[in-house]
Amino acid sequence: LTHNFENIVYNELIYMGYTLQVYNDGAHEIDFVANKGSKKYYIQSALTVSEKEKRQQEVRSLNRVGDSFKKIVVVKDNIIPWHDDNGILYIGIEQFLLDETAMDM
């Protein structure tokens, strides 16, 4: 199920015209680095981040990135989008797929 969910996010980003890379510094990996023109997003896909330990695991790599480009966690659940204390956006897959401006919240 995890890979299927990741594929949905991947396909949507390709459909939106982004070029994609995987971020890997040897110790940490981010699912997608999405680039289009001057826009760049670091995107992690996660089935859930309802538990604190799972959320910390998912954002560990995002928090290690030293630039100021947008960092996003896309989750399977239908959630109200929110930002954590580090500015990371958490958004549900439904809104990610249906709202063209969702990544810029």
User: What would the pLDDT profile of 53-97 be if each residue is shown by its tens digit?
Assistant: 888 988 999 999 989 999 999 999 999 999 999 999 999 999 999
| CA distances in angstroms from 98 to 28, 53, 85, listed in the order given | 30, 29, 26
- CA dihedral for 19, 22, 25, 26, sign (positive or negative): negative
pTM of the model: 0.92
- CA dihedral for 61, 30, 7, 95, sign (positive or negative): positive
The end-to-end CA distance of the chain, in Å, is: 27
Cα-only R_g, the chain: 13
Residue 1: predicted pLDDT: 58
Q: Would the pLDDT of 26 be above 80?
A: no
CA atoms within 13 A on the CB side of 48: 6
